[in-house]
Each structure stands twice: as structure tokens, then as C-alpha cells.
Structure 1
Amino acid sequence: MDEPEVAPAPGDQRRTVSDPAALKALAHPLRLKILRHLGVNGPATSTTLAAALGENTGTLSYHLRRLERGGLIEDVPERATGRERWWRAARGLDMRRPPQEEMTEGERAAVRTLDEMRLDEDIQLARRFLTEQADSGGWLQGSRSLSHLTREELIGFHDAYLDLLRRFSRGPEEAPPGARPVLLRWFALPATPERDR
């Protein structure tokens, strides 16, 4: 499998990942759990991940290699002890979906699987938001809105949102006292389908 196309974003440490291979690497429930664990708890070994996720180390090692090939995790050489490698989630990734016509049918199927897994998670998060907001002490925030935008303005809004994420982005190793891992979501869609216009 070819290495994913990863390009540094101008002026910062962000990398744009647009290769279908990286998206295929994500399209597995255990790999998503691994990324979530690393993002929330910081670097881990296959042994500590196996214990935390209830898997065996052989299985974890296989999925870690797939995530590494996809450019989604990286080893932490300064923490290595003996033969055991430490892993962390790659920081500063901007995952961009390739155009449909540039993907094979297998890649499109993997992306659909990933979208379905993410949708299931987002629905669970929305339900949590509804049930936990009143007692969250300000930790649950949300907003809904409606605007009339051109496609170019919507793309500009999305890019501004990514800039805002970069401004507040940090991993568990850089988090100040009192910080908690916070899940952030954003999506937009036309209020009426194109066929109704």
C-alpha cells in the first residue's frame, strides 16, 4: 500500500491528509477506539492499549501498524524502553475526503463504513448532550443556526472553523491544569435538498 499523501499546511504545523488509504485505515471500530484513547489519555504502548481496550497485544500491534501507515499515529522514540514502542495520535491532521470520482469502489465503501461509524457516535453524543447538559457545570456547550450562504462562503466558514480549532488545539501532554478532553463537532447542510429548489 502506498504511503498517504501528507502535505504540510502553509505557515503552521498542520498536515493535510487526503489519500483514501488514510481514510481506509480509520474505517475500523478498534482503530477509532485506539485513536480516541491516545487522544484522550496520551501516549501508550500496545501492552497498555491492550489492557485499556480489552484486546490482545497481537491484535493491537496489527492495528497500530495500519494506523501508522495511514499517517494517523506516530511513535514516541524518547519514551521507548527496550523493544516496546510508545505511540501517540498524530497532531495537526486535517483529514480531507478525496473527490468521489478519484476513489475506487473499495475506497468509497471504506469511507461509507467510516461515515456510518462516525454517525453512530455522533448520535450517541447528541443524546448525551441532551441528558447531561443541565448538570454539566458549563462543560457542555452548543449552538444551532441558519444562514443563507454561497458555496464559497460555506467553504470560508469551514476554513475559519478549522482555524479556530487550531487556535485551541492541544493534546493531553500540553493540556493545562483543569483541562478536560472535549469532543467538538461541526457540520452543515442545505436546509432543502437541491431537487426541492
Structure 2
Amino acid sequence: MTSAPPPEELDPDALKAVTHPLRRRILGVLSAGPATATKLAQALGENSGATSYHLRELARFGFVEDVPELARGKERWWRTRPRDIRWPRRSEQSAESRVLFDDMQRQGFEEDLAKLNRFAETREELPGDWPDSLFYARGGTWLTAEELKQFWDDYMELFRRYWRAEDDRSPEARRVLVRLLAFPEPGE
């Protein structure tokens, strides 16, 4: 079994690179598997020049990488590069980074909600036990800021224990989206 990549904190330039809307869409398509700039352009309704440029920018910051074993002639294949990305604490971010990060979070929530809705609409079409595979919990507890940070660290340790590389997964495995959202209740 392959272990999860080491955690790494992104610098502001990398944050700026990954918050671009088309680059986020490219990463979304690549999360399903490798593709060429042309295939990405077709999937996203863009031209291949734009997808090629944005792939190179994503590669410059280590978000994607070449897949040389799939290349044929001048055809260049790309895949996401496994990373355990951590964001700088908000108190350590510049005002510009905060705006970018807030926008990226908003986009991420919208994308996650759209994916959840697609799952709900198509879950009956899934084989075996997969239609029952929506696990949701909603709760609240009283924590100090330090305890909440420890809760996060414990969650990340658990997530990393179940992390699998694309080539180290069972044939029955499906990509499962896992999200944790924890924040202090406003007005408390």
C-alpha cells in the first residue's frame, strides 16, 4: 500500500495559480483520470491552447504532471499529482490571499453541493451497496480553539490512513469525496 504524500503548505503564488476558475475545472476533470489538453478542451468547452497553457501553469506549481507512458508522438497526457495540501492559517495570510482563499472555498462548496445533488439524482443507478453509501453526520460540541485544532489533526490522520494512490486501489473501489467542515457557531 502506498502511503499518503507528506503535508505541505502552499505559498501565495500557488494559491493564486490554483484558484483560477478554468484551472479548478481542469483539476476536476483530471481527478477522474489522465487526459490530454485536447480532451480537456472538449470536455470543458474550451480551446486546446487555453487548456494547454493552464496545464503548464498547474504543472509549474506541482498540481499536475506529465504521464509519459501514455504519450504517443506529440500527444502529451496529464494527471493530477497526489498532494496533501495545507493552507496557511488565516492570521498568516495576506489580505489578497484571504480574498483568493475565501473565493476558492465558496467555489468548492458550490461544486461539492452540485456533486452531492448529482449523486442523489443518480444513486439508484449505482451497483451493489453503493446507493447506501452516503454517510452524513450533523452535530455540535463545545471545544476550545486548541481542541478544535486537535480534532482536525486527528481527522487528517484518519484520512491519511485510508488514502490510496490511483494505481494502489481495489478494482471495486470508487473515488469517494470526503469533506469535514467545522467552525464556531456565529454569535457564540
**TM-score w.r.t. structure 1 length?**
0.77
Write the distance in 2 (CA, Å) between the matches of 1:159 and 1:132: 34
Unpaired runs of at least 5, structure 2: none
Distance verdict in 2 for CA 1:128–1:77, change over 3 Å: closer
Distance verdict in 2 for CA 1:46–1:133, change over 3 Å: closer
Q: CA-atom RMSD, angstroms?
A: 2.7
Match of 1:191 among 165, 185, 188: 185
Where relative contact order (Cα < 8 A, 6+ residues apart) is larger, the structure is 2
Report how many residues are paired: 182
Write the distance in 2 (CA, Å) between the matches of 1:96 and 1:68: 19
Q: CA deviation at 1:121?
A: 2.0
Contact 1:39 1:172 in 2 (8 A): no
Q: CA deviation at 1:79?
A: 2.9
Aligned to 1:18: 10
Aligned to 1:51: 42
Distance verdict in 2 for CA 1:51–1:71, change over 3 Å: same
Unpaired runs of at least 5, structure 1: 1-10
Aligned to 1:4: none
Match of 1:39 among 23, 31, 36: 31
Q: CA deviation at 1:55?
A: 1.8
Write the distance in 2 (CA, Å) between the matches of 1:89 and 1:110: 21
1:88 equivalent to 2:82? Answer no
1:156 equivalent to 2:146? Answer no
Give me the identity figure in percent: 41
Aligned to 1:107: 97
Distance verdict in 2 for CA 1:15–1:78, change over 3 Å: farther
1:179 equivalent to 2:170? Answer no
Distance verdict in 2 for CA 1:189–1:108, change over 3 Å: closer
Per-residue Cα deviation, 1:84-114 (whole angstroms, up to 9, x for no partner): 32211111322313544542x4433322321
Write the distance in 1 (CA, Å) between the matches of 2:186 and 2:104: 25
Write the distance in 2 (CA, Å) between the matches of 1:62 and 1:164: 36
